[in-house]
Amino acid sequence: MKNFVVHQLLEHALIAHPEQEIVSGNHRFTFREFHSRVLKLANSLKVHGVKKGTVVGVLDVNSHRFLEMHYALSMLGAVLHTINFRLAPEQMVYSMIHASDEWIFVSDVFAPAVKPVIPKFPKWVLMSDDTSQALPDAKQAFHYENLVNEGSENPISEAAEVKETDIFSIFYTTGTTGKPKGIPYEHKTILTGAIQLFHHLALHKYGARVSSRDVFMPLIPFFHIHAWGMAFFPIYLGAKLVLPEAADAAKQQAIIEKEKVSWLNMVPTQLQMLLEQKNFGHVKILTGGSPFASGIAKRAHDAGVNFSLIYGGSDQLATAISVVPENIEPDSAEALEWRRVGMRPLPLVEISIRDKQGNEVPHDGKTLGAVWVRSPWLPNGYFKEPEITKAHFIDGWFRTGDLGFFHPNHLLYVADREGDAIKSGGEWIPTGMLEAIISEHEAVAQVAVIPKKDEQWGQRPLAILKKRTDVSENALRDFLLSKVKEGKLAKFWIPDTFTFVDEIPLTSAGKLNKKVLRDQYSG
């Protein structure tokens, strides 16, 4: 019986869909040509000593070369460290040292930025079309295309020895609550989680439903859970895959039109930028990573975007995806709201909402509690962090650090991070829900709500806004009072202060960086 390992997806695709395309920048490969390049790269790396257990860091945008690394390293049984290029430089280097990277593959996009740390690591490979470029400070330096050209297409004997319980990859959290934490994933767990995610999308008729006829383009970077599994699923499905490389929103829209892309994934901030592009729309989008504001949801819907919201993370993979309840008219405003806030756990996922004593809270649509998750693809813990693992991975469950509740129809709403929710006068104010309501105002482009110290109440909400058009504090306050009358929020949730800024800082995952905002404004 075969093992369930990453490179077997490509072996199957070669048999079933040899002429299907992978497009990356100016490059266009059939699956057959892609497989040939993977074999050559794997054989070349084998000659240079890469073997089972070798940790290889890759610092690149979503490109064909980064995708090739997934399958070449799988054949050798090596471990792929997908380096988060949006981490602060010191955090990025920390992750490379902590993961014990022996080789670093870096694209020409990032080569200038890593120059100061090149002497820290023994072997470097430059990923570029231009083979004349070099990494002069490296102890050992190679060029990616030379490695491919020098390799043979002989079968890799080690590929048959790779087990589904072997570690395939390691990636790191964003580090917004401290130093980044590494999460190692086995072949079986990363593939099961990724494929189950897309099977769940295929089960439901509305939103970001997937089909073998879709043309896929991941805007989530490979460093973040392998682009939410997109490094595997189009290969598994035999579908056309388009990789945007270092394209901005305007270039992404041009690629969508040229390649007839029909399905994408992205965080809400990326969706906002694409909605500013002419002719963007009539695609399917899986979004998540932060609360999905109703204002963005309506703009996306009006543009013809069919979207679904996903809940998950680096340390739990996919957990739940939004659906339209069966008794709701699919084109109604109510259906749009459910796709924004009502998520159904994936098959085989268990979610428990608990109070501080660990007891289940009622499924009444209002009682907040801590979100605990259990699934077949949950990792065993954090890499080289036994104490942090004990605090979060408990009796087969993962304590996520999120606050949420179940609606009476058993759909999940994730309201906030435990560290972001505001405790005012002994009552919780979920900032994610408040941000979503504020964003409904047409003048608001982006909003973050953080706690501000208050002598009387302990904490009060402070709203930090980026404006789309001019608006006053009084107008925003009146708008929120109207929402109080509609029953959408409690009056004490309304922020005491509104601060207007040109830009709101984001994390490496494209989320609102509330740590930076708290440091600046919470005093």
State CA 390 to chain mean position distance: 24
pLDDT number for residue 139: 87
In a domain, 365, yes or no: no
Least confident of 11-15, 79-83, 228-232, 287-291: 287-291
pLDDT of 523 reads 60
Comparing C-alpha atoms, which of 375, 318, 379 is closest to residue 182?
379
R_g (Cα) of the chain, nearest Å: 23
- Which pLDDT does position 518 carry in this prediction? 85
More confident residue, 243 or 362: 243
What CATH number does residue 71 fall under?
A: 3.40.50.12780
pLDDT score recorded for residue 265: 97
Q: What is the pLDDT confidence band of residue 423, given thresholds at 50, 70 and 90?
A: confident
pLDDT at 169: 98
Phi and psi angles of residue 110, each rounded to the nearest 5 degrees, phi first: -105, -5
Total domain count, the chain? 2
Q: Is 102 part of a structural domain of the chain?
A: yes
- Asked if 169 and 66 count as a contact pair (C-beta separation under 8 A), the reply is no
Nearest-CA neighbor of 220 among 182, 185, 267? 267
Percent of the chain beyond pLDDT 70? 97
The stretch 50-56 carries a mean pLDDT of 98
Choose the final residue of a domain: 185, 217, 250. Answer: 185
At 510, the pLDDT band (50, 70, 90 cuts) reads: low
**Domain final residue pick, 124, 150, 185:** 185
The pLDDT value recorded for residue 266 is: 94
The mean pLDDT of 121-139, rounded to a whole number, is 90
**pLDDT surpassing 60 at residue 195:** yes
Residue 428 within any structural domain of the chain: yes
Contacts of 330 by beta carbon, 8 Å cutoff, 6+ apart: 205, 206, 324
Q: Is 254 domain-assigned?
A: no
- CA 433 to chain CA centroid, Å, is 21
Encode 106-141: b = buried (16+ Cβ within 10 Å), e = exposed: bbebbbeebeebbeebebbbbbbeeeeeebeebeee
Pair of tokens at residue 441: 């105002």
Domain endpoint, select from 185, 212, 244:
185
The answer to whether residue 78 is domain-embedded is yes
Q: How far apart are CA 373 and CA 359, in angstroms?
A: 14
The CATH number of whichever domain residue 435 belongs to comes to: 3.30.300.30
Q: Between 59 and 356, name the one with better pLDDT.
A: 59
282 within domain boundaries = no
Q: Which domain holds residue 480?
A: 422-521
State the pLDDT confidence band at 87, using cuts at 50, 70 and 90: confident
453 within a domain of the structure (yes/no): yes
Rounded average pLDDT over 115-140: 91
Q: Using CA atoms of 71, 74, 76, 77 in order, give the dihedral in degrees to the nearest 10.
A: 170
Using pLDDT thresholds of 50, 70 and 90, give the confidence band for residue 489.
confident
Q: Is residue 63 part of a domain?
A: yes
Query: Can you list the positions of beta strands (E) in 96-214?
Result: 103-107, 123-127, 140-143, 167-172, 182-186
Average pLDDT of span 165-173: 96
Average pLDDT over residues 39-68: 98
Min mean pLDDT across 156-165, 237-246, 387-396, 482-491 is at: 482-491
What local confidence, expressed as pLDDT, does residue 479 receive? 94
Average pLDDT over residues 13-30: 96
pLDDT at 269: 82
Sign of the CA dihedral with 155 first, then 161, 165, and 171 last? negative
The DSSP code sequence of 431-478 is: HHHHHHHHTTSTTEEEEEEEEEEETTTEEEEEEEEEESS---HHHHHH
Given this model, what pLDDT does residue 145 score?
97
User: Quick one: pLDDT at residue 256?
Assistant: 98
| Mean pLDDT value across residues 383-393 | 94
